[in-house]
Amino acid sequence: MELITSNAEQQACEHIRPYQNTPSGLFAAFFDLSRTPFAASSQRGIVKSFFAQELKDVQAIIFQFLNGDIFVISTRLTMHHVLKAARHFGLDRYRNGKLYKLPHDYDEIAASLVKYVQAHEAAARRGAAQVTSARERFLGVKIGEGLPLALRKIRAARDDIKVLIIDDDSFALSLAQKSVGRHHDVETARTAVDGLKKYARIAPNILFLDIHMPGVSGYDFLEKIFEVDPDAFVVIISAHNDSNTIKRTQSLGARGFITKPYPREEIERYIQQCNAQGVDAI
């Protein structure tokens, strides 16, 4: 049995299309899990296990849509399974008590799936607008005229090296913190916004920056950081070591580039280079 969650709305439409006029022996049902706690991604295993046990059909497919609702299709699905699932998941049986058959009910199924596709597309548009808005707000943050000088004074007043790491991957961030933290004072942030706030507060000597972050990316951060601190020493972290990324980050002012997962020797090399205020190392 397969559980599909990525672009499930469109995939469900494509899956049923061959059965529009062809006898298939397939049955289907919709379940409004969005109205229950079972819509959460953490509950997917429970949902799949229930249908696997009830249907005993390895060819069955569950499509879970963006809002959490599911569409189940199987040759073994019966009205008994539909009603039992409604009871099991605490659903209204009048809204979740219909069994469809392909190709007989193709038009009705397709009409319902189209509504899910439209809802998914609308959510994607809203998400894109929110990302654009977040990026614009970040790049539009006003920087006080005295901040660059204040950062220089903070760095000049301490003897140790202060390291800031910005990465949205919590696991990678934890590994990096443990590795670098053995010999240096390390602060971390998981978003560009939080990272910018910490940068302004602690004035790090060196910044390790993940280039691929959601919402406000590492590229956006690079555009902003030299307005905050013209002396910033930024080393890019990325899982992809490609020439275009290196050239683009270099053009934005990055001093170096490291491929994940945070090789200790390279990190230390850049920290020492920063301490000696070396030249670009890309």
Assess if residue 155 is contained within a domain. Answer: yes
Assess if residue 142 is contained within a domain. Answer: no
Compute the residue count for the chain: 282
Name the pTM for this structure. 0.54
**Co-location of 214 and 154 in the same domain:** yes
**Co-location of 74 and 172 in the same domain:** no
DSSP label at residue 149: H
DSSP label at residue 158: -
**Co-location of 152 and 90 in the same domain:** no
**Co-location of 178 and 114 in the same domain:** no
CATH number of the domain residue 157 falls in: 3.40.50.2300
Assess if residue 132 is contained within a domain. Answer: no
How many domains are there within the chain?
2
**Co-location of 215 and 251 in the same domain:** yes
If the chain, 282 residues long, is cut into consecutive pieces of 10 residues, what is the mean pLDDT of each piece?
Answer: 91 91 89 89 90 94 93 95 91 77 92 90 73 78 90 91 92 84 90 93 95 88 93 91 88 91 87 73 38
Q: Are 71 and 26 in contact (CB under 8 A)?
A: no
pLDDT the model gives residue 129:
63
**Co-location of 267 and 194 in the same domain:** yes
pLDDT the model gives residue 127:
66
Domain that holds residue 67: 2-126
**Co-location of 120 and 157 in the same domain:** no
Assess if residue 135 is contained within a domain. Answer: no
Assess if residue 136 is contained within a domain. Answer: no
Q: How far apart are CA 205 and CA 222, in angstroms?
A: 16
**Co-location of 120 and 151 in the same domain:** no
The Cβ of residue 36 has, within 10 Å, a number of other Cβ atoms equal to: 15
**Co-location of 24 and 79 in the same domain:** yes
pLDDT the model gives residue 278:
43
Assess if residue 243 is contained within a domain. Answer: yes
**Co-location of 24 and 104 in the same domain:** yes
Q: How far apart are CA 3 and CA 107, in angstroms?
A: 23
Assess if residue 138 is contained within a domain. Answer: no
